[in-house]
Amino acid sequence: MARPLKLEVHESADYLLKSLRQARSAAQAERLRLLGRSPSTITRWLRRYREEGLAGLLEERTAPGKAPRIDGELLEKLKARLDSPEGFASYGEVQQWLEAQSGEPIPYKTVHKTVRYRLGAKLKAPRPQNIKQDPAAVDSNYKFKNS
């Protein structure tokens, strides 16, 4: 059998309604309402409210995640090299350069995500173009079969 719920709310109803209207995210609004949630979630939220107050309840905590493999001085060197005129021809070349700089292998996927999405950089070497795409390279004597 479940224990009876004992809760002392320190804020006034008006303050809680105002907080609900000013909630910055859906998660905060949902915690203020406490509707449609499992008993264990409500218990966890109420325990946090008792221990830390309303500010603690509404604080959205996120897991810290894994530390980036390319950061600090190595990231600054990579930015400088990407901004330089020689740049890199491929992500594989970036991967080899980073391994030479750091002394440890870095996965291709990590290199690609860091260069493309974290730094927002593109590699300097342009892809080769097909000669047919260049209108100046098309022979002026070329005629279609049905002409």
Q: What is the pLDDT of residues 3-61, one digit of tens each?
A: 777 777 888 889 988 998 999 999 888 888 877 678 888 889 889 999 999 999 999 88
Residue 54 belongs to a domain: yes
Mean pLDDT (the chain) is 84
pTM of the entire predicted model? 0.47
- Identify whether residues 110 and 81 lie together within a single domain: yes
Q: How far apart are CA 26 and CA 7, in angstroms?
A: 23
Residue 46 lies in a domain: yes
pLDDT given for residue 96 in this prediction: 96
Q: Which regions of the chain does DSSP assign to beta strands (E)?
A: none
Report yes or no on 113 lying in a domain: yes
Q: Summarize the chain as % helix, strand, coil (round to 5).
A: 50, 0, 50
- In sequence order, the 6+-apart residues with CB closer than 8 A to the CB of 110 are 69, 70
* 82-93: average pLDDT: 89
Largest CA distance in the chain: 92
Range of the domain at 34: 13-58
Does residue 24 lie within any of the structural domains? yes
More confidently predicted of 6 and 77: 77
In-domain check, residue 130: no
Q: Please state, in angstroms and rounded to a whole number, the distance separating the CA atoms of residues 73 and 80.
A: 11
**Mean pLDDT throughout 120-127?**
73
Percentage above 70 pLDDT, the chain: 81
Same domain, 47 and 18: yes
